[in-house]
Amino acid sequence: GSAIHCRKLDLEGNISITATGLCCLSNSLQSDSCCIEALHLFNIPSAIGDDGMKALARGLAHNTSLKSLHLGCLFNNATIPPAQWVAFSTALCDPSSVNSTFLSNHTVQRIMDEDDTDNVCPEDIDLYLRLSEQHPKYAARCKILMKHRHLNMRPFLQWKWDLKFLPVALSWFEQAKTCTTLNVQLPVEERHILEESDEVFESRVLSAMYEFVRGMP
């Protein structure tokens, strides 16, 4: 509905929001026509529970426009349970397969409000958000390298790719190598995104290419 046609949606303090309502909002966020960039959900009822929050996370997973989700200060100062944080983590970086990681959300840069001291983003989610904010061009590649130490090339063989695909794969790795040099700025320090030497990265490339060539008919 409205999420499709506006860039900012402010539902702060709307205590009538239910899990069903967040499911509907989730469907709007997943629409290819959605252009919302900021979603304010301050002080919404904690009674929406796991179903509502997980539905919201699913909406994020398939959204490419939202940059800021203000989810702070839940009603009655409730805290977000671990299961709901896991849902948001998966939306930002689904590790179940390389393709799932690639199709995760790489645009959201903020989830919690800075003033909400009761709900602090887990470390992994905070890293994903900062990666999208500070290095949006490399976010997907970095997450793939972070979560998949061994890149399985068999799916490409199932698509009946021949050796013409090899330069494409090499080009991907060439661009992804930049991820080994990137840092993210944290509140009190700067840290490497990938703690990986050039030798380890090249070993990963050779391993993937060897598997691809070996699997050729």
- pLDDT higher for 15 or 198? 198
Q: How confident is the model at residue 117 (pLDDT cuts 50, 70, 90)?
A: low
Residue 205 has pLDDT above 70, yes or no: yes
pTM of the entire predicted model: 0.85
**What's the pLDDT tens digit per position in 118-164?**
567 889 999 999 999 999 999 999 999 999 888 766 655 555 555 66
Handedness of CA 12, 28, 124, 200 (dihedral sign): negative
Confirm if 84 and 71 have CB atoms less than 8 A apart: no
Count of all residues that appear for the chain in the document: 217
pLDDT value, residue 2:
52
DSSP string, 39-72: EE-TT--GGGHHHHHHHHHHHHHT-SS--EEE--
Residue 107's identity, in one-letter code, is T
Q: How confident is the model at residue 168 (pLDDT cuts 50, 70, 90)?
A: confident
Place of tokens 């205590």: 15
Q: How confident is the model at residue 29 (pLDDT cuts 50, 70, 90)?
A: very high
Query: Percentage of residues in the chain with pLDDT exceeding 90?
Result: 36
**What's the pLDDT tens digit per position in 46-99?**
657 788 888 999 999 999 999 999 876 555 556 778 888 999 999 999 999 988
Which residues, other chains included, contact 125 with Cβ-Cβ below 8 Å and sequence gap of 6+? 85, 88, 89, 92, 111
Output the average pLDDT for the chain: 83
Distance between CA atoms of 154 and 151, rounded to whole angstroms?
9
Confirm if 122 and 113 have CB atoms less than 8 A apart: no
pLDDT value, residue 50:
82
Residue 5 has pLDDT above 90, yes or no: no
Nearest to 1 by CA among 20, 29, 43: 29
Q: Where are the alpha helices (DSSP H) in 62-197?
A: 82-92, 98-102, 123-134, 139-147, 154-158, 166-176
Structure tokens at 195: 């703690």
Residue 111 has pLDDT above 60, yes or no: yes
Query: Percentage of residues in the chain with pLDDT exceeding 70?
Result: 83
CA distances from residue 67 to 58, 110, 111, 165, 208 in whole angstroms, order as listed: 15, 7, 9, 34, 34
